[in-house]
Structure 1
Amino acid sequence: MVAAQIHLVRHGEVFNPDRVLYGRLPGFGLSERGHKMAAAAANDLLARDRKYGTLIASPLQRTQESAAPVAALLGLTPVLDERVIEPHNHFEGKQMRRAVLNPRNWPALRDPNLPSWGEPYGSIVTRMMAAIEHAWKTTSSGDAVIVSHQLPIWMVHRYLADEALRHDPRKRRCALSSITTLEKVGDRFVEVEYRDPAAELAAGSLDVGAV
Structure 2
Amino acid sequence: MRHGEVFNPERVLYGRLPGFKLSDLGRQMAEAAAADLVDRARPVVRVVASPLQRTQESAAPIMAAFGLPINLDERLIEPANRFEGKRMRGPGGALRDPRNWPSLVNPARPSWGEPFRSISTRMIAAIDDAFHSVDDGDVVLVSHQLPIWMVHRSLAGERLAHDPRKRRCDLSSITTLTLRGNVPAEVAYSSPAAALLVPANDVGAV
Into which bin does the TM-score normalised by the smaller protein fall? over 0.9
Q: Contact 1:52 / 1:141 at 8 angstroms: preserved in 2?
A: no
> 41-50 vs 92-101, which deviates more?
41-50
Superposition deviation, residue 141 in structure 1: 2.0
Counterpart amino acid of 1:87? Answer: P
**Partner residue of 2:71?**
79
Correspondences of 1:139-150 after superposition (within 5 Å): 139-150=134-145
**Partner residue of 1:39?**
31
**Partner residue of 1:54?**
46
Cα deviation digits, residues 38-72 of structure 1 (max 9, x gap): 00000111111121211100010000000000100
**Partner residue of 1:174?**
169
Query: 1:82 & 1:180 partners in 2: Cα distance?
Result: 19
Query: 2:44 & 2:22 partners in 1: Cα distance?
Result: 24
**TM-score normalised to structure 1 length:** 0.95
- Aligned with residue 153 of structure 2, among 153, 158, 164: 158
Q: Contact 1:56 / 1:81 at 8 angstroms: preserved in 2?
A: yes
Query: 2:179 & 2:204 partners in 1: Cα distance?
Result: 30
Do residues 183 (structure 1) and 151 (structure 2) align?
A: no
Query: 1:48 & 1:90 partners in 2: Cα distance?
Result: 40
Query: 1:71 & 1:32 partners in 2: Cα distance?
Result: 18
- Aligned with residue 99 of structure 2, among 95, 98, 104: 104
**Partner residue of 1:208?**
203
Unaligned regions of 5+ residues in structure 2, if any? none
Q: Contact 1:155 / 1:165 at 8 angstroms: preserved in 2?
A: yes
Query: 2:60 & 2:143 partners in 1: Cα distance?
Result: 13
* Residues matched between the structures, number: 203
Query: 2:133 & 2:194 partners in 1: Cα distance?
Result: 32
Q: Contact 1:58 / 1:147 at 8 angstroms: preserved in 2?
A: yes
Correspondences of 1:114-133 after superposition (within 5 Å): 114-133=109-128
> 48-57 vs 33-42, which deviates more?
48-57
Query: 1:130 & 1:96 partners in 2: Cα distance?
Result: 31
Aligned-CA RMSD value: 0.7
Cα deviation digits, residues 110-151 of structure 1 (max 9, x gap): 100110011000000110001000000011221100000000
Superposition deviation, residue 209 in structure 1: 1.7
Counterpart amino acid of 1:11? Answer: H
**Partner residue of 2:22?**
30
**Partner residue of 1:6?**
none
Query: 1:117 & 1:28 partners in 2: Cα distance?
Result: 21
Query: 1:182 & 1:196 partners in 2: Cα distance?
Result: 15
**Partner residue of 2:187?**
192
Superposition deviation, residue 156 in structure 1: 0.2
Counterpart amino acid of 1:64? Answer: Q
Query: 1:169 & 1:91 partners in 2: Cα distance?
Result: 15
